[in-house]
Amino acid sequence: MYAVTRAIEFCYGHRLLNYEGRCRYLHGHNGKVEIELGSDTLDARGMVRDFEEIKQTIQTWIDRELDHKMLLNRRDPVAPVLRQRGEPVFLLDANPTAEAIAELIFNYAASQGLPVTSVRMWETNRSVATYWAPDRAGRRFSRTRPRRSRRTVRSTSTAA
């Protein structure tokens, strides 16, 4: 399997409802999102996808919909106030956490036909959330099942 990842930086504001930490107040982040595309094969150019194509598809949308906007839970009472004042707002059905933003960008990339396998959303340079394609997440997390012991593997191997 091959993978390519394109990073895109953007600024956004948000706040979280039903949350006790500092993120309950309106504030902003210089975020970075990494969009990973995967493929078992390469195209005629030897690529999963051209980095420029990823940039044009995703960055254009991020610049238009998310960059320098306030990302808010649809139920946030400040949302209609900001909208009324002409402030740019993007509403989500859930709290605008890094996890939710990663899922949002993942779903947009998938809707554009990109073979996206994961989206990592860096809220700060120390905190990152990842949303995986559902089939990929299944493979990843199934590894936590108990593995066969080395002894069993050896006894069934004809090469040993």
Q: Does 110 bind Zn ion (CB under 5 A)?
A: no
**Cβ distance to Zn ion smaller for residue 13 or 106:** 13
Q: Shortest Cβ distance from residue 14 to Zn ion (Å)?
A: 6
Residue carrying the six token digits 């309106």: 26
Catalytic residue list contains 68: yes
Among the listed residues 17, 23, 47, 137, the single contact to Zn ion using CB under 5 A: 23
Q: Shortest Cβ distance from residue 34 to Zn ion (Å)?
A: 18
Q: Shortest Cβ distance from residue 131 to Zn ion (Å)?
A: 17
The residue number with the shortest CB distance to Zn ion is 23
Q: Which of 23, 34, 65, 99 is catalytic?
A: 23
Torsions phi, psi of 4, nearest 5? -125, 145
**Cβ distance to Zn ion smaller for residue 27 or 154:** 27
Query: Which residues of the chain form contacts with Zn ion (CB under 5 A)?
Result: 23
Q: Which residues are catalytic?
A: 23, 68, 123
